[in-house]
A and B are shown apart, each in its own frame.
Chain A
Amino acid sequence: MEVESERGLSDKPKNGILGSIDLRSSESVVDLTGQVHQLPCCIKHDGPCPVSQYFKPHKTGVEVEGLAVEEACFRGRKLQGATIPLPEGYCGYVLGKKKNPEKSNTSEAHEGNCWKVAAKFQNIKYWNHDSLPSGNDAFMRCFHWFAVANALHKPVTCDDLASQSTTSERM
């Protein structure tokens, strides 16, 4: 599946960007479900590191708002978190830059925005520093966007238009 790639490069929108994400290989990529962590800090490191040898979450037995609370520590801070499954119909992806073989006819800008799936995941462990995970956390509330986006982007059908016009006639 290609996203926005057929639109050409000349009509690059001013407020957006043009790029492509190649999801074709997603069936065969490594599944990181249970191994993706969202930490409440910025780690200025980009690369592999032995997470499972040092980062040891354990279950606390405590449950808050239906979430099984886990504990871990990182750099001396106590983290409290929970495993959040991604909603039905959604999948998490780790993307990597894609090397474009047809380098000749693509501009540099486009070249830099070609992505392919490096790994996928179906849940995420998110961690708070010093506070229990809760539905009020910004991270948890992000999932509200899925429902809003669905409502905003659902194609309007003839039936919708018909029912809309009957409602306005009645008014």
Chain B
Amino acid sequence: MGSEAPILPKWASEPCMMGIDEAGRGPVLGPMVYGCLYCAVSYQKILASLNFADSKTLKEEKREELFENLKANESIGWAVDVIDPSELSAKMLKKTKINLNEISHDSAMGLITRVLAMGVLLTEVYLDTVGDPEKYRIKLSERFPSIKFVVAKKADSLYPVVSGASIVAKVTRDQALRNWVLDETAENMHRNFGSGYPGDPETRAWLEHHKHSVFGFPTLVRFSWGTCTSYFKDIVEVLWESDSLDEEGSSNRSNKRQLKLSSVGFTGCKRKSEEIESSGKGRCKFFQARKLELVNHF
């Protein structure tokens, strides 16, 4: 989504600057949105006079008004990347986990790639840091050698172009959450999510109400968030192969060996309920390869 006009504006072939900012990184539910705003470097002074401030310091109505203004402004372009909570959960809970910083970096670089592909001559990009600012700047510069990057803490309050991007991101995130259609069709579900931040009492009440003993939460929730872990303590336990690999990696060796001995078969092939799948241990290769085990106890 963004201002992808069929005809590229004339100013896009002048040297352009871009600001990138994020909204919804902290909340336990809803999408994380990366937004960008770009304009000709020569437009910088006028941009500064448009009163974009860090989106967090503005009231919701004011933010929406500013977003409408910038959408109507032909000297400004914008784009967003909406990362759904199910995508965040899936990536952070993959067998090889992708952390939130990496997801954020990829999203920002995706926006730059998209705007460059439209034919905009980007020469400067300003963004808030994710992780170590210098490492991030080097990563970006290596990927886009023709662009000068300014990575700074609180970039959204320092550079008007980033303030503008923060408005794009924040308004998009708020609208996405407001219009969210729950995938789940269980009864008694409602959409009073609150802000989505773990500290918000309304969000906490929503989580408590929508907790399910087997499924956990609706897919609106980021299952990989620490906030969820405390809720999962009281519900049905689910064991994954990828989790047991983690544990094996960290547990000491003698422990592991003991575990293995006990599962080889001195217990009389009685299947342990916590085993994730059958093993075919102790049988010929044909069965081992297919994890077919002889069950003689039900």
Contacts and interface: CB of A to CB of B under 8 A. Distances in A.
B266 interface: no
A129 B236 contact: no
A56 B186 contact: no
Q: Chain B, interface size: which category?
A: 35 or more
A142 to B, nearest CB: 5
B274 A73 contact: no
Interface in B247-282: 273-277
B237 A44 contact: yes
A129 B245 CA distance: 13
Nearest to B214: A49
Given A41-B240, A45-B213, A141-B289, A54 B90 contact: no
Of residues A16, A19, A73, which shows the largest number of chain B Cβ atoms within 10 Å of its Cβ?
A73
Q: Chain A, interface size: which category?
A: 20 to 34
A16 to B, nearest CB: 6
A74 B275 CA distance: 18
A130 interface: yes
Contacts, number: 104
Nearest to A115: B298
Interface of B: 86, 89-90, 92-95, 183-186, 212-216, 218-219, 221-224, 228, 236-242, 273-277, 286, 289-292, 296-298
Given A142-B290, A142-B291, 5 more contacts: A73-B86, A76-B222, A129-B241, A138-B290, A144-B286
Given A16-B296, A43-B236, A76-B222, A53 B273 contact: no
Nearest to A55: B215
Given A49-B214, A130-B94, A42 B239 contact: yes
B275 to A, nearest CB: 7
A19 B184 CA distance: 41
B89 A76 contact: yes
B236 A45 contact: yes
A151 interface: no
Of residues A15, A42, A76, A77, which shows the largest number of chain B Cβ atoms within 10 Å of its Cβ?
A76
B214 A43 contact: yes
A75 B218 CA distance: 9
Contacts of B277: 40, 42, 138
